[in-house]
């Protein structure tokens, strides 16, 4: 695993994780709860961190985060949409569950 992003803003870290998820890059958030330890620990040690699971994807992940959006895959629908694997209903990228049938969006690792 390799760290690609860190911030005191937990929302920003989770947004970055969502961008990587939309691009098919598996990532995990670490140190989510350390902000309550700030003062006992140095502030820089209390930042939430985003780590990519496969270090081979680190450079691509960093580029996506610099660009601020998931790259388009040739022949794929726009990055802002996905199609439910169960019922075929289109949905926007921010949703992880189908509004029609409740199926969970699958992301290829």
Whose CA is closest to 66, among 107, 109, 5, 11? 5
- Quick one: 63 and 86 in the same domain? no
Confidence of residue 80 (pLDDT cuts 50, 70, 90): low
- Quick one: 49 and 86 in the same domain? no
Residues in the chain: 109
CA distances from 81 to 5, 49, 78, 86 (A): 25, 27, 6, 15
- Quick one: 9 and 61 in the same domain? yes
- Quick one: 62 and 12 in the same domain? yes
Confidence of residue 1 (pLDDT cuts 50, 70, 90): very high
- Quick one: 103 and 58 in the same domain? no
Residue 109: predicted pLDDT: 40
pLDDT in tens, 7-33: 888 899 999 999 999 999 999 999 888
- Quick one: 10 and 56 in the same domain? yes
Domain that holds residue 15: 2-67
CATH code of residue 26: 3.30.70
Domain count, the chain: 2
Find tokens 């780590």 and name the residue: 51
pLDDT at 90 over 70: yes
pTM of the model: 0.59
pLDDT at 76 over 70: no
């Amino acid at each position: 695993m390799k760290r690609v992003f860190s911030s005191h803003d937990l929302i920003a870290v989770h947004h970055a994780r969502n961008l990587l998820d939309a691009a098919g890059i598996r990532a995990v958030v670490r140190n989510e709860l350390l902000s309550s330890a700030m003062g006992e620990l140095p502030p820089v040690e209390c930042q939430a961190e985003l780590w990519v699971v496969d270090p081979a994807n680190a450079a691509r992940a960093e580029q996506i985060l610099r660009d601020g959006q998931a790259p388009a895959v040739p022949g794929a629908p726009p990055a802002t949409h996905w199609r439910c694997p169960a019922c075929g209903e289109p949905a926007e990228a921010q949703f992880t569950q189908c509004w029609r049938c409740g199926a969970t969006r699958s992301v290829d690792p």
